Structure 1
Amino acid sequence: MQAPDTPPNEAQRLQALRELQVLDTPTDQAFDRLTQLARDLFDVPVALVSLVDQNRQWFKSHLGLSAEETPRCVSLCAHAVANDASLVIADTLDDARFADNPMVTSSPHIRFYAGFPLRPHGDLPVGTFCLIDHQPRELSARDHLLLENLAGQAEELLRQHKISADLARTAKRYEALFSSSAVAKVRIDRAGTIIAVNAAVFGLLGYRQPELIGQNVAVLTPPEIAAHHNTYINHYLAGGRPKVIGTGREVEAQHKAGYRVPVHLAINAIHDDAGNVDEFLGVLTDLSDIHATHQRMQKEQSLLKVLHQGITDYQALMSGERLWTFLMEALRDLTDSDYALIGEVLPTETNRALKIHAITDLSWSQESHKLMERLRSGNMMLTNPDSLLGRVFAYGEVIMTDDLYQHKLRGGFPPGHPPINNYLGVPIFSAGELIGMFAIANSQQPLSQELIDWLQPFTDTCALLINLYRQMAEREQVTRDLAHARDQAEQANRAKSDFLSSMSHELRTPLNAILGFAQILANGKRHPLSDKQLRQVNQIDKSGQHLLSLINEVLDLAKIEAGRLPLSIEPIHLQSVLDDACDTLAANANAASITLLRCRVPANWYVYADYTRTKQVLLNLISNAIKYNRVNGRVEISAQQQDSTIWVHVTDTGPGVAPERQDELFEPFNRLDAENSTTEGTGIGLAITRELVNRMGGEIHVESTLGQGTTFCFSLPVVRDSAAAAKPPSNAPKRAASGVRHERRVLYIEDNPANQRLMEDIFDDVDDVVLQTVPSAEIGLEVIRGRLPDLVLMDLHLPGMDGYQALAAIRRHPELKHLPVIALSANAMQSDIKNGLEAGFDDYLTKPLEIDKLLDTLQRYTPSRGSA
């Protein structure tokens, strides 16, 4: 038996078959009528509509044959499909291809076969229309033409079947898009009458479907708009410019209960085949949560503004005797209250008393006005512990009620007193001591524990200001004491850092001269050096750079051992810090002909660590792996999670380290005889790395095989809290988008993680700028030498080399001396700015950072280049 061949376009043919959506569908009378007609016309027992699938032939119609499908390998139709031509076999027993075919030798005992390929779409045959007889017979030319016409009719039926399936699917989609949509949708006719609504309208506006069908759509709009609603539709139908139709905007819808719901309304005009407007579809998106969030944000901003002004303008407010009035009015605004008071709790011989500093005027008569003045002036103390105020200032209780007139502590209101609907009294504590209270009445907000919690920053600020107020009489002495304590602390800090400062200054001063003159000699144009002299000068510069690196690492190690290196432990995104470190050293790896392979870890892997110091650990390990490697070697970074820790592995293909000497790797200044090689190093990088990992709660190990390479692995604690890990990584440098767009590259040298995040957030909205952040000037200089940025933002107080020293190193280099370098510092005195500009910075920006000024400075020194 000869099995049918597989057509060269089999994949496309099978795709065309599946797109018909006919396989395994129920019996269809239209197809059966067609095959019955063929049986009658040709007087044959079997007529089939056969579709050749991947491993079978399946019959859409199989009159005269009980089987619904057969294997493809025994299918005669598959031969016709493979050759993409009609196939007529007068006697199968005389054809060597089919004489031993099971379909011939056993049921259904095929002796005659005639099949014509079915191509319902294009030129891809998906099956055949075929005739089968149990006796040999011939097929005339007229019969062949008739069979071809029947096959054409079968092709049309297949096309109609696909159209019906597509229409059914489209109808289901429409039903899902309209009736089952979670968004409220309304269909109206040209007259504005509602003809259909979905279930979401009830959830949004409270109306059920029968209540709206046949009503004018104006029933869903506020009264002031309802009367003009039909005018808008008629205006649009008359060709006027649409205001909502086709554009969408935020409006208010009228709820069945009478209140208004903020929504985004989008109305689309639906046209008939002639292009005329047949009906309109309105889509209403609930904006209630967004509006509520906006109102909460406004409240939060108001709260922050009050706290900021209360603290920063304390002296001015106090000198003008406006502090307490400012706080009271702020409290009223924050809580939407008619009345408020703020007072200070003072101890008495028996209990406590309340001295009112500010109170809203509640007077209703001449006498009550005088009483309010006495209370406001502080000449009158409140001492009753069993009143609504007394329970707060005497016992520190929170008193909250929405029915003041039925409250057991209400002492009664005289005739004419303004009505009080609700009341909230909150005690103010400082270090467990009751020092004050505030109260509000007639608040438009619901009184609840949630409101009290939200006001806690305000309460804490009041506690701070009350304490400051109490200390005014002793302010000068406190100021002197603070100044004396500050002087002592500064003197102690200076004494602790004298050695490090002296070492840094005394060693860097001659070293800067050595490196500077070496570069002058190397780059001299008037008196060029010979090749031998140039090699000697380059050796001076190389050795000087090595000494400078040693000095910086010694200072860094000294800070760690002295406990003077602060860490900011927080959840950090592991992939971000891995990419950041690899991107920084990519140029170094390329220069050394080393392949740098980085892993991709799961997106939800976060660790508790200091981002800057974790990056420093990675930079030290990857840099060593590049330096101590073989030519055309490989460095691979990988990670795996074990219980509550994540282990990061840095593997190289270098010479390896003998097992008996691996413990020496972490000893300061021990380079395992590498000092006799051409590879530069200080010998304390791994010592610093181990101290940093240990201080971040991790471990570090080394595994090495002589002649095969070395793996350093360190661990960090896993972040288990999904909420803490939900924050997107903010420390990693922003990357350039792919494409041909010319982008401005800005290098930011800053060791403070919070400042790094702030700058990255700022530059996130600047489309054509790529920001790269590094934690030290030393790393920054390496990045600049690897790839020149368009601008450098430089913090002045940096670990190791400070901003002034980094600027000097940049200006000494002939290729870098014109690079724009902007100082960024919290030293904001005029003398600081003057010193920075005189030192050679192109500009000097101060902290807190003014974003507009930063962006103006960026545009001034690196104008946008646009697209290529």
Structure 2
Amino acid sequence: MQAADLPDNETQRLTALHALHVLDTPIDEAFDRITQLAQDLFEVPIALVSLVDKERQWFKSHSGLDTCETSREISFCAHAVAKNAPLVIENALNDPRFVDNPLVENTTQIRFYAGHPLRPSEGLPVGTLCLIDRKPRTFSQRDRQLLKGLAGQVEELLRQHQMRRSLAQTTLRYEALFNGSATGIIRINRSGKVLDINPFALTMLGYDPQEVIGQNVAMLTPAAISARHDSFISDFLAGGEPKVIGRGREVEARHKTGYTIPVHLAVNAIQNEQGHVVEFLGILTNLSNIYDASQRIQKEQSLLKVLHQGITDYQALMSGERLWTFLMEALRELTDSDYALIGEVLPTDTTNALKIHAITDLTWNPDSRHLMEQLRSGNMMLTNPHSLLGRVFAYGEVIITDDVYSHIKRGGFPPGHPRLTNYLGAPIFSGERLIGMFAIANSKQPLNQALLDWLQPFTDTCALLINLYRQMAEREQVTRDLANARDQAEQANKAKSEFLSSMSHELRTPLNAIIGFAQLLAKGRREPLSDKQQRQVGQIEKSGQHLLSLINDVLDLAKIEAGLTPLSLEPLLIANVLDDACSTLEANIDAAGITLSRAPLACSWQVIADYTRTKQVLLNLLSNAIKYNCINGTVHIGAEQSGDSLCISITDAGCGIALERQHELFEPFNRLGAEYSTIQGTGIGLAITKELVERMGGQIGFKSQLGQGSTFWFTLPITDQKANPPQPIAATSNEIIDSSSPAYKLLYIEDNPTNQHLMEDIIEDFKHIQLQTVASAELGLEIMRHSPPDLVLMDIHLPGMNGYQALDAIQQDAKLKHISVVALSANAMDRDLKYGLAAGFADYLTKPIEIEKLTATLKRFLAVTLKE
């Protein structure tokens, strides 16, 4: 036996079969008449309507056969379905596919089979109309055509079965929707008569079905439009513009008792197959609850508007001193009152007092107007605890009365006072604390607890605003105090900066002469000094430079503390900085007889830091290790990684630091008693070091034991970024200017005679430069106009016109503005240099003058030629 193959579209075929919803349905006479007709027409004992399911074939009609289904495996029809083509077996015993089929061998004894596929939907075969005989027979072409025709009838029956089922389900859904809907539904015909009405609409409008069905739908509309209702329908049917049909709108429906109900009406026109309107379907949604809620919402919106504006516009209302007036007027509007007040409760030594922030004008004569003005300004407070107001602000009671003049707590009203018909006074609490009150009079609403409860959000908002009002007042006072403190701090800082600048200028001016003349004496070629004199002059210059370094340290600390020291944080190799610092102090180390040792460093260690400031930190710590060491002592530099930081340590073999004074170590100008020793210093190096390390994101500390030396350490953040290559350091030049070069005119404007002599002595060696010195800017300008110099060196602090004023005059003069002007000043702070360069000075040199730097400046601006 050969079972039928599965069709390629088996899944779609089964879907189409199941969509018919015909499997396992009861006997249907229409199908049986087809199979009986087939039996009679073809004179066969068996005719079947066979539907091939996934694992069986089921017979919708089985004339001449007792069973209603068989296995698909032995089904002849499955072969017709697989080929989707008619199948005719004239003698099954001669067909190898069926010769051993159980249906051939058993009592059924099929010998002849003819089946035509049934394709009721999309050409998919779901089964067959088949003929079976127990003896072989032939089947002509005419027979095939007749079988095909009968199969077409079966297909139509299958389609009708599917349509009837779909229609039945649609009807059930419609009935459920119509009868169970939570909205009113009314069917009316073209003339406006009610065809049907659902239970919800009957309940909503108060009718029984027999009172409405068959009547004109106009009976359900208000009297004002019922007479015109039929014209709405006729106009629409005549092609007029629809007002409700197909659109929907809010209208009123008439209840059986006569009152109107707000509804939303949507009317749909129902058309037949020819597109003609046959009836109308109206959908009624009851809007009564929505309308009631809308009225409540409108009432609440007025309250919410007040609350929202009071909170969101609080700052603007408070800044314009309109907050309390706004709240008072809102209270009047919310309660339909003629008069209202809002006040703040302030405790006193005896009882509470009321400070009125806003009150409705109650004036009736000049005296009362003056009283109102005092109350509004807050200059007058109410303190009587026994009046209608006092019971509220003194004791926190709620006072409500509709008869003010007979109330036992009523005070007297002077002649002319506006009449008060009712009164409500309510306290305002913040937690348990009484902080304010409001009152209304002559309200057109009933004054009762319900109104007070409805106003509770307003009362709570008033409590919030009073607290905010107080906090703002306190904040404004704190702001004023902070502003005063800031102004004082800025004045102190300005005075400090001015003092530092002045000190720097006053000290640098004499140092300019001391260091300058010392350098000239040391470098004199025409009258060279003896060795002893060289040592003496060297000592003068060394002492001057030391004094200058002390001044620079003081200024450096002041700038760091003020945050005015810029840092250039970038990746750098710590080994390069250590090499640079050790090289700088090599002479000091040798002179002190110190043995310096360094732990091996990983070449890859890189930190994020400022190169110059890191070197300054190392120089400060190494200098201290050298100065405070023992004779022929040792200094060891170590480095190790600690988490994300690199720790650099410097250990000396000095006398150490006493435990009881270690907490003073980083205090500026505190040398812990070393000021009485022969070791020079200011006591601010460690303070500067600490500030620099912390500003670079590191930490600093130390370990020390008296008599056993000290270890100072600091950390810097480690980074994986690539370090920039170290910048070459410009070599100090001992170049001199070639005397064979052409002559240049140099004008030096300086009022200090010592500094004038110093500059004359410096320029004396430069034969090609003609120096002219003047003591004032005014005289310098006159000389420039008559004999323009090639370069001007100018002090800033000059008698009369100062250096900046003179520079401005030069820049404004078309004949002089091409002349380069270099500032030479004792004002040596960073801000002085930045300001000077920004003002237009070609360069800014500071005192004490460095001859090498001056030489480089002359070379740059006079284009001189130098030789060794």
**Which protein has greater RCO, CA pairs closer than 8 Å, 6+ apart?**
2
Instruction: Give TM-score scaled by structure 2 length.
Output: 0.48
Q: TM-score, normalised by structure 1?
A: 0.48
